[in-house]
Structure 1
């Protein structure tokens, strides 16, 4: 078998007009399975270290597929850049304070290298339109796993009308803000599938899943999560409605009906505590003041190691000093500041490079609906320290992949991707 045929067999890449090959690479399964791992997470922020099945699938793809080892320029820059920064920052940290090199530090550094490798492999895969469709649908469907954990705990607490923290099947309580960020990504994927699918039943299912995700976020009491999902619905919906595209009337009608149903349900069933939490209480509270204080202290500490940061996991020692404690596990509670103190201005620059590349891909491919969704997801991912979470990297992977697929296949629209019977 020649190299081209082998690549087509492994990755499903076979372009003859728009006659899609229905093969699905292990790379796709690895990404799509990641949000389902929340069911078994043993970490309160649902970091990648608990998504072992997804990592294993990606490792299998890397071993058995030549395509999974052929990295793009973007992936190469990210992988080499972060691995280099991690190595240099840890060496500098050891030279400054040798006691910082602990098993915990090494494990966290290794885990971030795995995350970077996972991301690089994911964005380098040559996706078919069918794989894009399956990827978005499965991530949207994964909202059922998240909602199950949230509703399970809600019922276990006797339908408690307060902030409900989900608990995994392993008994691990998951932080509401990190959990909400994951659900925001899932709702975004549901929303895309619902808008662009040409099957009425599928529209109904994925709009319903969007509603389930929104209810889950409301139950967590995450104000940033609800704000972000509202931005996704409002901005994404507005851009979708005003864009001159044929055949979108059914989606507009469904979107209007979905919006009305949400408003009616909220007016009838939202508790006084929830209403006050989101719409009455001041956002200038102790929680947000503490978050801002953490950001300020991180920025004040950053000039001590400006280029490469303190190294993965080492900032905790300095944070403890700032708070007058012997030890603390508190991060900076912000993605931008976490990257800044862990990897310095170079590492933060690499993260921003990913975000800018995503935005440029969506602009060039004219995917303005997806572009309108980004502010919602960005706000939530920046507010929480999501540096190592499945949620943050899932968001980066999905929007990069979809944007650059449409950029490289200018003749294919998202309507083509999600239609049930592709043209031959």
Structure 2
């Protein structure tokens, strides 16, 4: 095979890791503009990969991995037809496609040990950077340091009280992220031969564990301990004894460190112990508000699945549908479990395809890790396993960086399947070998242009919404209005953009406008469009009902009833329904709605 094809593999690999680094440093890619900027940052790697693979094609993972990957992508695409809100499902589909693309790029360009070592070093460096940022923020918060620098750290969400979140916004997500670099450092300690390097990497693994403790994340600690227990099983037969010894040495070193600095760590360990005791007590029947809410959310997710069992409500739509099915006055955008989120969003077909994909990747990784002599493969497998294990009980994967890291790590791990040590096996081209290079190049470029054009448009819309909110906060209303309108034009199928513009015009523009009637009509049209595009979102029906009430429109009762049907545990919604029914002359119905509003308010609903 022509070596020119692989000349830029290291560069492509580094460029493919740039989105993960950006996401880790900027709130995990939680907001839409951050997630799509991650995709734009991957464009150089994608283009270079397409150009370099245009001559010989690109390799497949083979077996169940390719089949389940294609099946999951297919169900995601199919869910756009059955979705309750097309824009949200399209956004979710592009995220899944992005993870799949990064997986195959990393899989193809990681052909030699030096490329694998480079990727592992980058991931370790990213873990060190986030940990140092979190440590500095923790020192400032725990010591109550003053000054502009410490104030800046305290106001940018790097800690929650004295719990470290670093740049990942949530302490649970930061702790789950640390599982990967911790096991990579431990694996490096097993692979290197020099004693000082073993001490260095062992100390680095201990540092990551300390930062995990400082996060005070109960679920992440349990996920880490489970992964630590099974880690020796992931190692090749000749490395297992060394792995068990390394784990014991790590635990002993940490115990000594905690004892020497017990004034710092003892309160945290006691707090963590108490939280874990609460978990086991909850399993035994003792009530705990946080854990109870998660159990109820999973139970409600099951009810949502039974309503639309085959294809679900559409990828990315959980947050718009959950209020209709919740059984307690508690709301969350995600069900704190990636498994139940996939089941609700894409039904049994999507949930089954997702579990099959995750299972095929981890099973392939286990076979490779136990076959290869280097412990780094077991480290990669442990990092991927810990990542998805914690996502099964929390909302980590709502931050795009976490699934990106999972699929990148799996790409590094699975890449070993199709090469011999020091000699790459021939690729199995996905395209026909007799196809002209120009045809493959044009096909690849066309795919990139279509997908990334859509990504770029969504990014611009989300960025304009963020800029509009900033301008509104700063009092620059003309700029805010321009940004909101631009966001609407760039997202013709987006209900949020229309509702945001309507709310802005209604609260900031209409009262001072020369033609208040025209502005009022535009507000009404925007809200009506939002309810058509996303009919499951109660807030749009509620806003439209209030607007109709102000104007004496008889449709107020219909919209108020729609809002209540989609969010029956919201007291304000029942109050609006009571007013609408009273205005329509339905005194009995108004009284029933008002009684329900009072009852919900007494129960803690707002």
Question: Could you tell me the TM-score, scaled by structure 2's length?
Answer: 0.55
Trace 1:120-139 onto structure 2 (pairs within 5 A): 120-125=104-109, 127-139=111-123
Please, which of 88, 91, 101 is the counterpart of residue 81 of structure 2? 91
Deviation of the 1:154 alpha carbon: 0.9
**Cα distance change on mapping 1:185 and 1:159 into 2, 3 Å:** farther
Matching of residue 61 in structure 1 with residue 48 in structure 2: yes
SS at match of 2:120: helix
SS at match of 1:142: helix
**Cα distance change on mapping 1:366 and 1:177 into 2, 3 Å:** closer
Q: Aligned partners of 1:70 and 1:132: how far apart in 2?
A: 18
Q: What residue is the counterpart of 1:140 in the other structure? A: 124
Q: Aligned partners of 1:351 and 1:63: how far apart in 2?
A: 27
Matching of residue 352 in structure 1 with residue 346 in structure 2: no
Trace 1:257-268 onto structure 2 (pairs within 5 A): 257-267=249-259, 268=261
Q: What residue is the counterpart of 1:334 in the other structure? A: 337
Please, which of 303, 306, 319 is the counterpart of residue 306 of structure 2? 303
SS at match of 1:384: coil
| Structure 1 contact 231–375 (Cα < 8 Å) conserved | no
- What 5-or-longer segments of structure 2 have no aligned partner? 145-159, 283-287, 423-606
Deviation of the 1:25 alpha carbon: 4.2
Q: Aligned partners of 2:31 and 2:312: how far apart in 1?
A: 22
Q: What residue is the counterpart of 1:386 in the other structure? A: 396
Task: Name the larger-Rg structure.
Answer: 2
SS at match of 1:193: helix
Deviation of the 1:66 alpha carbon: 0.7
Q: Aligned partners of 1:159 and 1:337: how far apart in 2?
A: 40
Deviation of the 1:82 alpha carbon: 3.5
Instruction: Identify which of structures 1 and 2 has the higher relative contact order when contacts are C-alpha pairs closer than 8 Å and 6+ apart.
Output: 1
| Structure 1 contact 232–374 (Cα < 8 Å) conserved | no
**Cα distance change on mapping 1:325 and 1:314 into 2, 3 Å:** farther
Q: What residue is the counterpart of 1:206 in the other structure? A: 201
Deviation of the 1:333 alpha carbon: 0.9
Deviation of the 1:133 alpha carbon: 1.7
**Cα distance change on mapping 1:75 and 1:365 into 2, 3 Å:** closer
Q: Aligned partners of 1:243 and 1:391: how far apart in 2?
A: 30
Q: Aligned partners of 1:200 and 1:314: how far apart in 2?
A: 52
SS at match of 2:301: helix
Deviates more, 1:68-77 or 1:150-159: 68-77
SS at match of 1:352: helix
RMSD (Å) for aligned C-alpha atoms: 3.6
Trace 1:271-282 onto structure 2 (pairs within 5 A): 271-281=265-275, 282=278
Deviation of the 1:147 alpha carbon: 0.6
Q: Aligned partners of 1:61 and 1:76: how far apart in 2?
A: 22
Q: Aligned partners of 1:265 and 1:271: how far apart in 2?
A: 9
Please, which of 83, 92, 96 is the counterpart of residue 112 of structure 1? 96
Q: Which has the higher helix share?
A: 2
**Cα distance change on mapping 1:54 and 1:210 into 2, 3 Å:** farther
**Cα distance change on mapping 1:328 and 1:226 into 2, 3 Å:** closer
Please, which of 21, 25, 29 is the counterpart of residue 39 of structure 1? 25
Deviation of the 1:231 alpha carbon: 3.3
Deviation of the 1:118 alpha carbon: 2.3
Matching of residue 402 in structure 1 with residue 413 in structure 2: yes
Q: What residue is the counterpart of 1:70 in the other structure? A: 58
Q: What residue is the counterpart of 2:142 in the other structure? A: 158
Deviation of the 1:312 alpha carbon: 2.1
**Cα distance change on mapping 1:57 and 1:318 into 2, 3 Å:** same
Q: Aligned partners of 2:140 and 2:237: how far apart in 1?
A: 45
SS at match of 1:244: helix
Deviation of the 1:337 alpha carbon: 0.8
| Structure 2 contact 303–325 (Cα < 8 Å) conserved | no
Q: Aligned partners of 1:194 and 1:29: how far apart in 2?
A: 27
| Structure 1 contact 214–229 (Cα < 8 Å) conserved | no
- What 5-or-longer segments of structure 1 have no aligned partner? 12-23, 95-99, 413-424
Deviation of the 1:153 alpha carbon: 2.2
Q: Aligned partners of 1:387 and 1:308: how far apart in 2?
A: 20
Q: How many residues are treated as equivalent by the alignment? A: 384
Question: Could you tell me the TM-score, scaled by structure 1's length?
Answer: 0.77
SS at match of 2:175: helix
**Cα distance change on mapping 1:32 and 1:361 into 2, 3 Å:** farther
